[in-house]
């Protein structure tokens, strides 16, 4: 099991989070993660090619919205709800409720 590079809680910036969540595909991924908890990429209802999904996961990870970790051949994803709520209280829940 290896961890991937993620911004620290203090490095998460509002413009990056809002940009990451502005795309309908990424917003759908986040909605699925909110419902499922930690899960592999392939378990999400993603309707784009694998390379495009990889790009979307990278945008979400670089913005600090999700955390990814490698477990064998699977890449597990989870929302960084605690970190986002600490930086921007209520933002994620408000966006998910409106989506």
- What 8-state DSSP symbol labels residue 9? G
Would residue 35 count as lying in a domain? yes
In a domain, 50, yes or no: yes
Domain membership flag for residue 6: no
pLDDT in the model for residue 71: 87
Give the model confidence (pLDDT) of 16-44 as tens digits.
999 999 999 999 999 999 999 998 887 78
Residue 7 lies inside a defined structural domain of this protein: no
Domain span holding position 26: 12-98
CATH number of the structural domain spanning residue 61: 1.10.10.10
Q: How far is CA 56 from the centre of its chain?
A: 9
Q: Is the pLDDT of residue 1 over 80?
A: no
Domain assignment of residue 81, yes or no: yes
Does pTM top 0.85 for this prediction? Answer: yes
**C-alpha–C-alpha distance, residues 49 and 53, integer Å:** 6
């Amino acid at each position: 099991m290896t961890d991937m590079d993620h911004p620290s809680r203090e490095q998460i910036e509002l413009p990056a989070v809002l940009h990451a969540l502005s795309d309908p595909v990424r917003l759908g991924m986040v909605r699925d993660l909110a419902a499922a908890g930690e899960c592999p990429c392939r378990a999400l209802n993603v309707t784009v090619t694998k390379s495009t999904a990889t790009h979307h996961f990278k945008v979400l990870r670089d913005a600090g919205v999700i955390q990814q970790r490698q477990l064998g051949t699977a890449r597990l994803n989870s929302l960084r709800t605690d970190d986002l709520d600490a930086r921007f209280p209520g933002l994620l829940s408000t966006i998910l409720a409106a989506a």
